């Protein structure tokens, strides 16, 4: 449940942290030698950044509506020429992460795009790169929202952000795939990717909200480690999950057997 979340935080850090002329992440003049998803005892090289999920707290806040509270840890391990340099690198790393995450109180979490298999950080990618597929669905999605708006308002509906329209359009495309309706301009490979999303009950776009840094541990302060030290930053984020059906009749009516 947290794999795509970890990869999203990794992508945000990689895109926004300072880089050298080779395009590699640096802290001061120290180049990050490795990225790890999931903690491990041995690292091929340091400095290394490791991201891992600590916990998921799930609670029902309304009927069939659940709030997931994620705790993510970002850890830097570094060994340098002296204790002073190691401490300075850790402090700068934590300052950078704190500044970057502060600008992302809400974060889109996306799987690989089913139309091109590229990774992206915003649903607006669908409009920018696949407008030939999405154009008609965007019009339909906007019309659906306007119809609901007009039921209770006499004023014009405010413009929707492209990312929101893209999500609603994607839902309409998935509905057509689910109901075996044709979707214009998609290839057989793209159709198989959309069918895979449906068959695996995947959520191609999720939203984290109330993203905030909960705790900063500047250093482990282990004097027996000489110049090798670690620092950790814990991030908390929430996510809503709506279950559309609860049974008991949302099951197959066919006879079954275990083969």
pLDDT digits (tens, 9 = 90+) for 88-127: 889 999 999 999 999 999 999 999 999 999 999 999 999 9
User: Are the C-beta atoms of residues 183 and 173 closer than 8 Å to each other?
Assistant: yes
Domain ranges of the chain: 3-109+206-242, 112-202
Q: Cα(231)–Cα(96) distance, rounded to whole angstroms?
A: 13
Alpha-carbon dihedral 71, 206, 124, 209, rounded to 10 degrees: -50
Give the model's pLDDT for residue 182. 95
pLDDT score of 143 more than 90: yes
pLDDT in tens, 204-222: 999 999 999 999 988 776 5
Q: What is the CA radius of gyration of the chain?
A: 23
- Its pTM stands at 0.90
End-to-end CA separation in angstroms for the chain: 29
Q: Does domain 3-109+206-242 have CATH number 3.30.2000.30?
A: yes
Give start and end residues of each alpha helix (H) in the chain.
3-16, 83-102, 124-129, 131-152, 162-178, 188-199
Q: Give burial (CB, 10 Å; 0-12/13-18/19+) of 220.
A: middle
Separate counts of helices (H) and strands (E) for the chain: 6, 8
Q: Give burial (CB, 10 Å; 0-12/13-18/19+) of 193.
A: buried
């Amino acid at each position: 449940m947290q794999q795509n979340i970890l990869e999203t935080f990794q992508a945000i850090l990689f895109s926004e942290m300072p880089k050298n002329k080779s395009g590699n992440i640096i802290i001061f003049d120290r180049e990050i030698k490795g990225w790890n998803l999931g903690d491990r005892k041995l690292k091929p090289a340091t400095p290394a950044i490791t991201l891992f999920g600590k916990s998921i707290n799930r609670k029902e806040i309304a009927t069939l509506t659940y709030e997931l509270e994620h705790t993510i840890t970002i850890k830097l391990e570094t060994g340098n020429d002296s204790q002073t340099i190691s401490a300075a690198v850790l402090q700068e790393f934590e300052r950078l992460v704190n500044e970057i995450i502060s600008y992302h109180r809400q974060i889109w979490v996306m799987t690989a795009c089913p139309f091109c298999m590229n990774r992206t950080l915003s649903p607006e990618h669908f409009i920018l790169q696949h407008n030939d597929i999405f154009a008609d669905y965007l019009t339909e999605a906007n019309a659906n929202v306007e119809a609901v708006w007009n039921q209770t308002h006499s004023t014009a509906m405010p413009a929707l952000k492209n990312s929101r329209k893209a999500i609603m359009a994607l839902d309409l495309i998935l509905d057509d795939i689910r109901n075996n309706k044709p979707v214009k301009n998609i290839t057989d490979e793209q159709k198989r990717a959309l069918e895979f999303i449906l068959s695996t009950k995947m959520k191609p776009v999720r939203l984290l909200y109330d993203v905030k840094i909960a705790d900063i541990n500047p250093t482990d302060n282990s004097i027996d480690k000489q110049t090798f030290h670690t620092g950790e930053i814990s991030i908390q984020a929430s996510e809503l999950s709506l279950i559309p059906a609860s049974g008991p009749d949302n099951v197959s009516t066919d006879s079954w057997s275990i083969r």
